[in-house]
Amino acid sequence: MTERIDLRLHLVTDSALCGTRGIEAVVEAAVRGGATCVQLREKALDTRPFVERARALKALLAPLGVPLLINDRVDVALACGADGVHVGQRDMAPEDVRRLMPPGSIVGLSIESAAQMIAAERAPVDYYGLSPVFDTSTKTDAAPPLGLAGVRRIRAMTMRPLVAIGGIGFENAAGVMAAGADGLAVVSLLCKAADPEAVARRLRQLMDGTT
C-alpha cells in the first residue's frame, strides 16, 4: 500500500485553527505548496456535517492525486470514499479497520512509545504516526515528547514508514527527517498560517534538503 502513497508531508486539519478561511481553502493552498497527504480530523463535529466536509475534501483532492485519510472514523471514511483511516491507541483496532475498509485502503496507527511499537508490528498497518516528537499544544492528552533520540530508537525497531508529528516546525524539520522519519505531519503550522502554500513549500525544501 505505502508504495503508492507519498508520506512526506501530511496536513492534519484543525477547523478551529483554519478559522474563517475554512478547511478547503487551507487544504488547497497547502497542497499547492507541497503537502502530499491530508488527514481530516474532527473530534467535535456531528456525523452528517463530518461526512459532508469529507466528501468536499475528497472531491478537491482526488483529481490532484492526493490521498484523503480520516482520523478515527471508519464510518465517515466509508461514506465519503476516503483513501484510508488513521487511528490512535484508544480508537478502533487496526485489525477491525482493515476488515471494514475496502481492499487497498491505507491504515495508519499512532505510536507513542517503544512498547507500543513492539505490539504494533503485529498489526495490519501501512505506516506509523510517531507522536509527539516535541511538545505540542494541539493535542492536550499527548504522551511525553520522544525527542530525536526517541525517533532514532523507534526507527531502529521497524521497517515500516514513520510519520513524525508534534511540535514540527522550520527549525527542526530537517533534524527529524535525519533522525529517521519518512515524513512529517503538521497541524498548527499550516492551519494557522497566513500563507499555507508558502509554509508548505518551505517545509518541503527543508525536508528535501533543497535549501
204 is catalytic: no
Q: Tell me the CA distances in angstroms from 26 to 35, 62, 168, 199, one per residue in order.
A: 11, 16, 18, 11
Q: Can you tell me the distance from the alpha carbon of 54 to that of 69, in angstroms, rounded to the nearest whole number?
A: 9
Catalytic annotation present for 110: yes
- Please answer whether residues 77 and 52 qualify as being in contact, where contact means their C-beta atoms are separated by less than 8 angstroms: no
Out of 58, 110, 202, 204, which one is annotated catalytic?
110
Neighbours of 208 (CB within 10 A): 14
Catalytic residue, candidates 41, 58, 202, 204: 41
- State the catalytic residue, choosing from 32, 98, 139, 155: 139
Residue 90 falls in the annotated catalytic set: no
Instruction: Decide if 109 contacts 94 (C-beta within 8 A).
Output: yes
> Which residues are identified as catalytic?
41, 110, 139
